[in-house]
Structure 1
Amino acid sequence: MKIQLTINDELTSTEVHIHTPQYTEKIEKMMHVLQTIQTPTTIDGYVEQTIHFVPVQDIYAVYAEGAKVYIQTNEDEFEVKRKLYEVEDLFAHDFVRVNKSTLIHLQKLVSIQMGKLGTTEAVLSNGVSIHISRKYMKELKQKLGIGRDGV
Structure 2
Amino acid sequence: MKVVIKKIPEDKTEFAALHVHEETPQTQLISSYLENEEYNTVIVPCTADGKIYRIPSDSIYQIESIGNVQHVHTKEKIFQTSKKLYELEKMLPVKFVRVNKSVIMHLNKVRVYTPLANGLMKAELGNGESAYISRKYLKGLRDLIREGLK
Q: Structure 1-normalised TM-score?
A: 0.69
> Where does 1:103-142 land on structure 2 (aligned, <5 Å)?
103-142=104-143
Q: Which is bigger in relative contact order (C-alpha 8 A, separation at least 6)?
A: 2
Find the aligned partners of 2:58 and 2:38 in 1 and give their Cα distance.
Answer: 15
- Alignment correspondent of 2:56: 55
Find the aligned partners of 1:77 and 1:6 in 2 and give their Cα distance.
Answer: 40
The question of whether the paired residues in 2 share the 8 Å contact of 1:99 and 1:133 is answered with yes
The question of whether the paired residues in 2 share the 8 Å contact of 1:97 and 1:140 is answered with no
Find the aligned partners of 2:93 and 2:142 in 1 and give their Cα distance.
Answer: 15
Find the aligned partners of 1:139 and 1:92 in 2 and give their Cα distance.
Answer: 17
Find the aligned partners of 2:144 and 2:11 in 1 and give their Cα distance.
Answer: 27
What is the RMSD of the two structures over their aligned residues, measured on CA atoms?
2.8
Change (3 A) 1:81 1:60: same
Percent identity, please: 30
Contiguous gaps of at least 5 residues in structure 2: 1-5, 15-33
- Alignment correspondent of 2:101: 100
Contiguous gaps of at least 5 residues in structure 1: 9-13, 19-31
- Alignment correspondent of 2:66: 65
The one-letter amino acid paired with 1:53 is: R
Tell me how far 1:117 sits from its aligned partner: 3.2
The question of whether the paired residues in 1 share the 8 Å contact of 2:46 and 2:81 is answered with yes
Find the aligned partners of 1:136 and 1:16 in 2 and give their Cα distance.
Answer: 35
Tell me how far 1:104 sits from its aligned partner: 0.7
The one-letter amino acid paired with 1:107 is: N
- Figure out how many residues of one structure are paired with residues of the other and give that number: 124
Q: Specify the SS of the correspondent of 1:46.
A: strand
Change (3 A) 1:107 1:6: closer
Q: Structure 2-normalised TM-score?
A: 0.69
Tell me how far 1:141 sits from its aligned partner: 1.9
The question of whether the paired residues in 2 share the 8 Å contact of 1:42 and 1:53 is answered with yes
Change (3 A) 1:115 1:50: same
Find the aligned partners of 1:119 and 1:138 in 2 and give their Cα distance.
Answer: 10
